[in-house]
Amino acid sequence: MKKIYSIAIALLACVAVSAQQYKELWIAGSAVPGGVQKLQTVSDNDFKYAGKLQAGELCVMTTKKTGKDTRFLMPVLPDANVANRGIGFKETADGKEAAWQVLVDDDHYRIHLTTDRHQLQGEIFQPWGELFIAGGATGTTWRKAEGHMLLMKQDIDNPYVWSWEGELKEHSDVEEPRSFKFMGQDRWSPKALHAYRQDADILTDQKARVGGPDTKWTISKEGRYRIVVDLFNETVKAEIIK
């Protein structure tokens, strides 16, 4: 009986660790402008940073200032570069062992932590050369959209920002007649910008993500829209202008 009880306790501990959530996360260190920056909370298990980093080291930690309750998200690989395609991390109380490396200065770093997967991804994000809007709400059918997507306009002062004005309405003869998404080319791959959840209302949901599941925005109202996309900060703002 004692053995069974011990196994049960161990299983509960594993579940607690795997389900652990962080209310806030911070990056700090010589690579971080000002010494410390708060990560944006996208969801319970999803945190992001978009901005400048300089050559040096940074730690991801659970408090703004280091204290007895601070925990660090330590890379599982030695000398891990913050610019990577996905490196696992584990929690530690020892900040000396928790550093991530930043090799070059740049104004356009993006860091993305998914804490339920215990993974950090990072990159120096480059502007896209094109951005299109496509889908049922635009009048372009999903099956025949390639080569006929609607081109957005790039901001002359900020190459990461794109805008579009046009009509969005339900097209009942099209699959997903009120939905749409954004593509980095006039075809379905490789670059895409998606809503964080399926059927997110474009008028109220400003969260966006590059890549991931094929979730789309939808319209709750028909009309002439103005949409502004910030690829670097992964935001979408929309308004009905007519």
Q: Does residue 10 have a pLDDT over 50? A: no
What is the Cα–Cα distance from 73 to 60, expressed in whole angstroms? 5
H-helix or E-strand spanning residue 2: helix 2-18
Query: How many CB atoms sit inside 10 A of residue 200's CB?
Result: 20
Q: Does residue 14 have a pLDDT over 70? A: no
- Buried b vs exposed e over 55-83: b needs ≥16 C-beta within 10 Å? eebbbbbbbeeeeeebbbbbbeeeebebb
Q: What is the pLDDT of residues 117-139, one digit of tens each?
A: 999 999 999 999 999 999 999 98
Residue with tokens 């703002």: 237
Quote the pLDDT of residue 143: 84
Residues of the chain by 3-state class (helix, strand, coil), percent to 5: 10, 40, 50
Quote the pLDDT of residue 20: 59
Q: Does residue 177 have a pLDDT over 90? A: yes
